[in-house]
A and B are shown apart, each in its own frame.
Chain A
Amino acid sequence: MTGTAAAPPSVPAVRVPRRRGTEVALIVVAVLLSVYGYCDVGLAKNGTVPPGAAGYGAGLGVLALLAHLAVRFRAPYADPLLLPIAVLLNGLGLVLIYRLDLETPGDEAAPTQLVWSTVGVALFIGVVVLLRDHRVLQRYAYICVVTALVLMIVPIFFPAVNGARIWIRIGGFSIQPGEFAKILLAIFFASYLSANRNALAYTGRTVWKLTKLQLPTGRVLGPIVAIWLLSVGVLVLERDLGTSLLFFGLFVILLYVATGRTGWIAVGLVLAGVGAYTVGSLEPHVHSRVEDWLHPFASIDAGEGPNQLAQSLFAFAAGGMLGTGLGLGHSILIGFAAKSDFILATAGEELGLAGLTAIFLLYALLVERGYRAGLALRDAFGRLLAVGLASIVALQVFVIAGGVSGLIPLTGMAMPFLAQGGSSVVTNWIIVALLIRLSDSARGQPVGPPKEDA
């Protein structure tokens, strides 16, 4: 149904189905599932339906409906799966946070998260309504990159929280500007690479003829490498490893997609390997993370009790195939980051491998729909932006889910939509808004032969 780009170049154009009805139906399912989860938690913990169930359902429903109306009137051809998936993940995240709030009576995070979700949906609507054509963004590429760098540098002047200098605290609010920088940097990368991709792909010196490894001229490659190095450098300073890993992955993927040069991947992996090894062995903060990953039970053997990663693994294991049921697990044992970085452990324990797989598949579907929009778009900028945004979601999920489940060393990062964190939830709503805009352009464009293809 989204294969318009691959359709034969037959004229007259067929009317593309808009599928807004499908979207509404799926949104209703998503809201009902969330309300069901909310009631389930209350029944399991207290034996009663939580008093706020109706209000919570109504709130989430109204937000989803407003978002839907914005899509219906301003992006009628958009992919009907994107919004329901975002609503479901956000609803499920609120359920999980509410569920953990019950274990920490003095420290409630769900109401704040609901406020941030509202802000996120408002910005979603704002983006869908105000941004009529994604190509406009290309014009602001340099403003984006400057803003991104400023946003990333500012937290250096604020005190570190739990070892990372990535927050700005003003009054009672704290925001994580690095989250927003993701989008801005993706826009810049997409813009720069789409403008210079021919130069990157076809010019430059051959380094070693046998491998056909050709380095582009420094004039073309220089600025973007500089931006990338700068951002990663800042993040290392701030000890925000997850985000630096994310930017690295984003950069390599977009460079590969833009130029089609496998050599970039090889260079990227070598650089990543050297960088990771150097940082991993020299930086004590990172080194301890790697040690924890290799030996999650070392602290138990040393008589200091389980660390967060061990507790997270215990939680996943306790879930088994089908989970303990919402509200019946003990993932709160993980401690202070249970609602944020480790939220997936609660999902793993209480929903089991079955529920976890469903959540992963929701993310996979979101990413796949992003890629599909990228494939269907005609302009290089749009294609790269769609791939970049979808890749951000994919990499985020992989880095944090792999970290808390012991697949890769742990790096602090928020699970998109699920985890507690205002900046994160707002950013992800904007990402979905941009994907909506891109898929609307992809599916709504006049049917005809693609103008260009690589």
Chain B
Amino acid sequence: MTRYIRHAAAFCALLLIALLVNATRVQVVQSGHFDDNPANRRQAIARFGQPRGDIMVEGRAVTGSQDTGEQLRYERTYKNGPLYAPVTGYASQVYGTTFLENAEDDILSGTDPMLAPLPLWNDISRAQNPGGKVRTTIRAAAQQAAYAGLGGKKGAVAAIEPSTGKILALVSTPSYDPERLSGTSGSVARSWAALNASADKPMLNRAIRQTYPPGSTFKVVTAAAALDAGTVTDLDAATKSPSPYTLPGTSTQLTNEVDGCTNATLRYAFEWSCNTVFAKLGADTGLGDMLGTARNFGFNDSGLKIPSSVAASNFDTAMDDAQLALSSIGQYDTRATPLQMAMVSAAVANGGQVESPHLVDETTTDDGDVVENTGNHSLHQAMNPATAMQLRELMTGVVEEGTGSNAAIPDVTVGGKTGTAQHGIDNSGTPYAWFISWAQKSGEAQPSVAVAVVVEDAAADRGDISGGGSAAPIAKAVMEAVLDGP
């Protein structure tokens, strides 16, 4: 019998080996495959198992974390949620993350290996780093001023420091409180459904994710192209521009809202926004130069990140002269984000140089050690410095004498450009009111702020809508907030 007992024992040993081999398969060989299964909640549990790092505005956190004691333990809270929603985005247990919450997720959630005290430290210790902090370039006062200025109206504001590209304000209205999407309760799902169903699209970040026809504010780009190309050399010389202007190759006549545009000087045409002059100027300058300048300002760039990706502004690359003429006054297919138009204004203020716009100053560990510093860097020279000087003169004229007088600030040099953009089939939609501007304190070497404001004021009478009326006061408030700041 002994022999058979030994055989049975060997059989049991075989079972043991099978178990060990299988355990090795599950726990070591295929473990990565199991760990990454989206139905495996462990990654989410680890992710929400510690407070998320904060997003800071001027050294103060605009976010927070709340311990719920649930399985996905820490929920995101927001201070002044609607005000900063276009900056922070949301961080939801259920619906993921957007904007800075998304772009800096590795830092905020603590998974970025750069947060570890030593390379590979966490792989050995199995420790998780506390979430890092993201310091934004936002100026609270400017953000407040923009948000208050827009009030209940649909619209957006982007403000930039021209010399560095730091984004000082980024506002989109109507907004929402991202806190409504934190957590896993039923109210979160209801909020999500309601926000998505809302006709106002509160979760749309109009400042960077929505493009609008820029209307007359695009004349800054056209003027820059024309001056750089030599199509116009003297701001005060009469242009050969008929009014109304028949678009080349068509019988369509373009008219003006103001008088005195026939053969007007560039200065007059810019200050009073003569469509005919700029349409002809664009056509005369030609597609190649117009496109080149538009690109240098940042149009047609789908790769811009601040670090959230910015929707590409558009200037068509193939057009006939009539289309080019319309595009030159910011109509036809020309479209721009508010941030793009703030970059246009900032380029003028910064001697023609476009600085890369950015929202994050630096990221730090929980203790405040710097992980990454966002340095400034230039994108393009949009125009010659001399052209930039001339455009500054023209933009200053708009505020001092022309359509932009509502943006004037005592003792401050302010340059601006109004815009009223037609849109919809046969221009049936309520026009968008635009204003782009910059401001320079007397005694300072260069302008300290450039702003773009767009207001989709569907409630107003069509006749009342103008960049100077609706948008310029908001731009003024934002510029004042920046100038009054530290």
Where the two chains meet, the residues of A that have a C-beta atom closer than 8 Å to any C-beta of B are: 253, 256-258, 260, 297, 300, 305-306, 310, 313-314, 316-321, 324-325, 330, 333, 348, 352-353, 356-357, 360, 363-364, 367-368, 371, 374-375, 380, 383, 387, 390-391, 394-395, 397-398, 401-402, 405-407, 453-454
Residues in A neighbouring B8, C-beta threshold 8 A: 253, 256-257, 371, 387, 391
B5 lies within 8 A of A320 (CB): no
A353-B24, A380-B1 known; A402+B18 contact, CB < 8 A: yes
- A sample of 22 inter-chain contacts (CB < 8 A) reads A317-B34, A321-B27, A321-B28, A330-B45, A333-B42, A353-B28, A356-B23, A363-B16, A367-B9, A371-B5, A371-B9, A383-B1, A394-B15, A394-B16, A398-B16, A398-B18, A398-B19, A401-B19, A402-B18, A405-B26, A454-B1, A454-B3
B23 lies within 8 A of A258 (CB): no
A305 lies within 8 A of B28 (CB): no
A353 lies within 8 A of B23 (CB): yes
Residues in B neighbouring A330, C-beta threshold 8 A: 41-42, 45
Residues in B neighbouring A258, C-beta threshold 8 A: 1, 4
Number of A-B contacts (CB under 8 A): 133
Q: Which of B13, B19, B20, B38 has the most CB of A within 10 A?
A: B19
Residues in A neighbouring B16, C-beta threshold 8 A: 360, 363-364, 394, 398
Q: Which residues of B1-45 have CB atoms within 8 Å of chain A's CB atoms?
A: 1-9, 11-13, 15-16, 18-20, 22-24, 26-28, 30-35, 37-42, 45
Give the total of B residues in contact with A, Cβ under 8 Å. 37
Which one, A318, A321, A407, contacts B42 given CB within 8 A?
A: A318
Residue of B nearest to A453 (CB): B2
CA–CA, A371 and B16, complex, Å: 15
Q: How far is the CB of A303 from chain B (nearest CB, A)?
A: 10
Residues in A neighbouring B30, C-beta threshold 8 A: 317
A317 lies within 8 A of B1 (CB): no
Where the two chains meet, the residues of B that have a C-beta atom closer than 8 Å to any C-beta of A are: 1-9, 11-13, 15-16, 18-20, 22-24, 26-28, 30-35, 37-42, 45, 126
Residue of A nearest to B15 (CB): A398
CA–CA, A391 and B10, complex, Å: 11
Residue of B nearest to A318 (CB): B42
A357 lies within 8 A of B20 (CB): yes
Q: How far is the CB of A441 from chain B (nearest CB, A)?
A: 16
A253 lies within 8 A of B2 (CB): no
CA–CA, A342 and B45, complex, Å: 21
CA–CA, A368 and B26, complex, Å: 26
CA–CA, A127 and B274, complex, Å: 108
CA–CA, A383 and B3, complex, Å: 12
CA–CA, A306 and B41, complex, Å: 10
Residues in A neighbouring B34, C-beta threshold 8 A: 313-314, 316-318
A454 lies within 8 A of B42 (CB): no
CA–CA, A253 and B7, complex, Å: 10
CA–CA, A98 and B393, complex, Å: 78
Known: A371-B9, A395-B15. 18 other contacts (CB 8 A): A256-B8, A258-B1, A300-B37, A316-B27, A316-B34, A317-B26, A324-B126, A325-B126, A333-B42, A352-B27, A357-B20, A360-B16, A363-B16, A371-B8, A398-B19, A406-B26, A453-B2, A454-B3
B15 lies within 8 A of A316 (CB): no
A375 lies within 8 A of B4 (CB): no
B27 lies within 8 A of A356 (CB): yes
Residues in B neighbouring A375, C-beta threshold 8 A: 2, 5-6
A348-B23, A360-B19, A453-B2 known; A314+B12 contact, CB < 8 A: no
Residues in A neighbouring B23, C-beta threshold 8 A: 316, 348, 353, 356-357, 360, 405
B40 lies within 8 A of A368 (CB): no
A257 lies within 8 A of B19 (CB): no
A402 lies within 8 A of B19 (CB): yes
Q: How far is the CB of A446 from chain B (nearest CB, A)?
A: 19
B27 lies within 8 A of A260 (CB): no
CA–CA, A333 and B71, complex, Å: 10
Residue of B nearest to A254 (CB): B8
Which one, B4, B15, B19, B42, contacts A314 given CB within 8 A?
A: B42
A317 lies within 8 A of B27 (CB): yes
Which one, A371, A407, A454, contacts B18 given CB within 8 A?
A: A407
Q: Which 6 A-B pairs have the closest CB atoms?
A: A317-B34, A454-B1, A317-B31, A407-B22, A398-B15, A394-B12
CA–CA, A448 and B333, complex, Å: 106
CA–CA, A356 and B8, complex, Å: 24
CA–CA, A103 and B26, complex, Å: 25
Residues in B neighbouring A310, C-beta threshold 8 A: 37, 39
CA–CA, A360 and B15, complex, Å: 11
B19 lies within 8 A of A405 (CB): yes
B1 lies within 8 A of A407 (CB): no
A320 lies within 8 A of B2 (CB): no
Residues in A neighbouring B6, C-beta threshold 8 A: 375
Q: How far is the CB of A362 from chain B (nearest CB, A)?
A: 11
CA–CA, A454 and B24, complex, Å: 39
Residues in B neighbouring A317, C-beta threshold 8 A: 26-27, 30-35
Residues in A neighbouring B31, C-beta threshold 8 A: 316-318, 320
B39 lies within 8 A of A368 (CB): no
Q: How far is the CB of B420 from chain A (nearest CB, A)?
A: 50
